[in-house]
Structure 1
Amino acid sequence: MKHTSIGAVALLATFAGSAAWAGGADLTVFDWSGYEDQGFFGDYMAKYNEAPSYTFFGSQEEAFTKLQSGFTADLAHPCTDAVRKWVAADLLVPLDTSKLKNWDAMLPEIKEVDGVMIDGTAWMMPFEWGNTGLIYRTDKVSDDKISLQLMADPAYQGKVSLPDAASSAYAMASLATGNGADYTKLSDEQFKAASDFLRAVHPNVRFYWADAGQMDQAMASGELELGWAWNQSELNLIWNETPAKMMRDVDKGIATWACGYVHLKSSTTPVEQIYDHLNALSEAASGKYIIDSWGYPHANAEAFKIADQALIKQYGFDDPKSFFEGSLFFDAVEPALEAKMLKEFERIKAGF
């Protein structure tokens, strides 16, 4: 056994609470696959020399169920439409905005979104935002023919993919049936119209994706021609020289979302380390990385000044206000309606 001098012990004590001795992997994050990318949290890596530990979920419904069943972590990454439900289930700790050093740099449009703030209390540190829209193979479908209704056309049997997430599927179906504005509070008649549309689409669905990469690969190979998916999928396809793009015609139907990080009540890691990670995620440099490399806009307004201006213009991020106002915004669905969506979506996927 090695012996340590008194001076060495004192030195160890001095540094015991410092970044040099902190365990970066002690921080646990419950996240979407891919967000373990260290480009998102460079300052955290610089301080702790080690990435957090990650566990992944495929949908917010899955994440909520797992957390309610006793799964523990320090941080999680839902979208704003889920936050009220998570707060009501007593899963979260409010955020202290005085510890979020980039809070004042956040886009005002983001901070006004329900779920980031609820009744004057901050519950989410916003991170990224963007579109969910219809991505299509431009060599198979012409721009003037593209529409959400095309997903139910028998000509596309086996050529369509939808996310394995009831709320997203019903948002798409509500847009397709002209009820997008009422998506979070559908009447019985509107709900039936959306459900009927999803049933019409079902025979065309090759698979319901849980991992966006699965849809990207199938679109790139030509297995799929239409898919309801996120900005990142469009960028991945373009970078892989696949002739594909997202339909961004507001009148034809597109949705906008915002996601971020929440402090879980089950957290056991020191608060300082929690906020070190949140601050790293919200840096302008992190925002530049996600814009340039993932095709998602970031919550920090300063990121747009240093990111690729051509990409910002291409994706319409140069005018965040109109971006938020011009499409259906994913918001919290009334609990009874959400339960109804979940149940009916399972029936539709099973062919009933």
Structure 2
Amino acid sequence: MTHRTALGTALAFALAAPTFAQAQDLLVFDYSGFENPEFHQPFIETHGASPEFVFFGDEDEAFQRLLAGFRSDVTHICAGSVPRWQASGIIEPWDRTRIAAYGTLNASLVDQDVLAGTADLYFLPTDFGSTAVAYNADQVPAEDVASLSIFTNPAYAGRLSIPDNVDDAYALAYLATGVTNWANATDEQFEAASAWLREVHGNLLNYWVDPAEIAQLMASGQVLAAWAWNEVPVALADEGFPVGFQRNTAEGSSVWLCGYVNMAEGQGSEDQAYDFVNAMHAEVSAMPMLLNGFGTANDAALQSLGAEALEAAGLGEVTVPLLAQLPLSDEQRERQAEAFERIKAGF
């Protein structure tokens, strides 16, 4: 994602922000919400307090602030941003030997392009989630969400929504037009995906900006179905709303991946940086993260929670293709971003 422009809002929607002491030798640049002490309790036990957190709204903002001279020690980004950040020179590799859970990171999620595609580990996966069709189970028949064609179905005109996010939008469009690996998309496949988004545009109530917004629209009945992150149905179900989450559409669904990068000019403690990311991977952190809609990239810790817990969080097994929102070339991301802006403007 710059995957999610409002990840922090998703967490705030599910859990009030806690208050806690801060350890001043490590500055974490992050989405609001990830300061939750339950996500890094082993760090607190070792250092007596949490790191210092500074928040950003989206990764483009974070990137520009860092280029302008802001200094952090570690920064939370999603996989799609990795090539640009690496090329800029503002991040440096992690030492694999200091990552306690390195051997049990989920290789099917991180893939060669993120985890082991080069000799250096520039991106350390920590959290992931799924994107699929969230829908009002009382008003939308199951057969209508068996396919992503619900987004072009005129019967739902004005009652649909997709994210105001280029990565999520194109993940949906590529899946709907038969592409499950966007890194290999041809010019023709890109044009087909863009044409599909143009068709969908006229059917939408809006492009949702953050999970709280789309959850409210669904709870009010204004939106009957949406392309949404798994934390949305988790939150709606907690409120007693009759929400369904269809990850097994005929065309497939998508997964996104985020993690931390090690800042080249960080002025804090390198030892604390490793303590922090290791705490994020710790088994004790897995359940608190899952309850907020996030799967840990430490597969051993994740699987220890059991299939029922994963299914309830929208991260269970699927039987259809998955499009992994892994890094794209800067050229391809820019082309998609430009097209998406034109589509949203009605062109």
Q: Same fold (TM over 0.5)?
A: yes
| C-alpha displacement of 1:149 | 1.8
> In 2, Cα distance between the equivalents of 1:176 and 1:59?
26
Specify which of 328, 331, 337 is matched with residue 336 of structure 1: 331
Shift of 1:263: 0.9
How far 1:295 sits from its partner (Å)? Answer: 3.5
Q: Which deviates more, 227-236 or 96-105?
A: 96-105
Residue ranges of structure 2 left out of the alignment (5+ in a row)? 1-20
Whole-angstrom distance in 2 between the partners of 1:351 and 1:25: 48
Distance of aligned partners of 1:318 and 1:220 in 2 relative to their CA distance in 1, 3 Å threshold? closer
Tell me which amino acid in the other structure corresponds to 1:105: T
Q: Which residue of 2 aligns with 1:165?
A: 165
Return closer, same or farther for 1:171/1:108 CA change in 2, 3 Å cut-off: closer
Cα deviation code 1:35-68 (max 9, x no counterpart): 2222111112223343333344444444444444
1:183-262 counterparts in 2 under 5 A? 183-249=182-248, 251-262=250-261
Do the aligned partners of 1:186 and 1:337 also contact (CA within 8 Å) in 2?
A: no
Instruction: Tell me if the contact between 2:39 and 2:289 (Cα under 8 Å) persists in the aligned partners.
Output: yes
Q: Percent identity?
A: 32
- The answer for the alignment partner of 2:16 in structure 1 is none
Provide the C-alpha distance between the structure 1 equivalents of 2:230 and 2:331, rounded to a whole number of angstroms: 30
What is the distance in 1 between the residues matched to 2:314 and 2:346? Answer: 38
**What corresponds to 1:177 in structure 2?**
177
Could you tell me which residue of structure 2 aligns to residue 149 of structure 1?
149
Q: Say whether the 8 Å CA contact 2:234–2:312 is kept in structure 1.
A: no
For each residue in 1:310-342, what CA deviation from the matched residue of structure 2 results, as whole angstroms up to 9, or x when unmatched? 2135568676xx78x941111222322211111
**In structure 1, distance between residues paired with 2:220 and 2:248:** 26
Of residues 318, 335, 349, the one that matches 2:344 is 349
For structure 1, the 5+ residue unaligned runs are 1-21
Cα distance between partner residues in 2 of 1:161 and 1:306: 34
CA contact (8 A) 1:250 1:326 kept: no
Within 1, Cα distance between the matches of 2:22 and 2:36?
18
Q: Which amino acid in the other structure matches residue 254 of structure 2? A: A
- The answer for the alignment partner of 1:273 in structure 2 is 272
Higher RCO, Cα 8 Å, sep 6+: 2
Q: Residue 294 of structure 1 corresponds to which residue in structure 2?
A: 292
Q: 1:142 to 1:26 in 2, by over 3 A?
A: farther
Task: Decide whether the 8 Å contact of 2:76 with 2:261 is kept in 1.
Answer: yes
* Shift in CA distance, 193/110, structure 1 to aligned 2, threshold 3 Å: closer
Q: Give the whole-Å Cα distance in 2 for the aligned partners of 1:250 and 1:155.
A: 18
Match runs of 1:23-34 below 5 Å = 24-34=23-33
Q: Are positions 1:123 and 2:122 aligned together?
A: yes
CA–CA distance in structure 2, aligned partners of residues 250 and 204 of structure 1: 19
Cα pair distance change 1:157/1:53, threshold 3 Å: farther
Q: Does 2:83 align with 1:84? A: yes
8 A contact 2:25–2:272 mirrored in 1: no
Q: Within 1, Cα distance between the matches of 2:308 and 2:40?
A: 24
Distance in 1 of aligned mates of 2:342 and 2:164: 13
> Which residue of structure 2 aligns with residue 9 of structure 1?
none
**Paired position in structure 2 for 1:312:** 310
CA contact (8 A) 1:59 1:165 kept: no
| Structure whose alpha-carbon radius of gyration is higher | 1
Amino acid corresponding to residue 283 of structure 1 in structure 2: A
Q: How far has the Cα of 1:75 moved from its partner? A: 1.6
Change (3 A) 1:65 1:134: farther
Task: Give how far 1:306 is off.
Answer: 4.3
CA distance in 2, matches of 1:351, 1:336: 23
Q: 2 CA distance for matches of 1:329 and 1:112?
A: 9
Q: Deviations over 1:127-175 (max 9, x none)?
A: 1223111211111211111132211333333322222221221111111
Change (3 A) 1:51 1:217: farther
AA matched with 2:148: L
**What is the aligned-residue RMSD (CA, Å)?**
2.6
TM-score of the pair, normalised by structure 2:
0.83
**Contact preservation (8 Å) 2:27, 2:52:** yes
Aligned residues of 1:136 and 1:227 also touching (Cα < 8 A):
yes
Give the TM-score taking structure 1 as reference length.
0.82
Secondary structure in 2 aligned to 1:228? strand
Distance 1:262 1:74 in 2: 9
Q: Describe the shift of the 1:162–1:64 C-alpha distance in structure 2 as closer, same or farther (beyond 3 A).
A: farther
Equivalences, count: 326
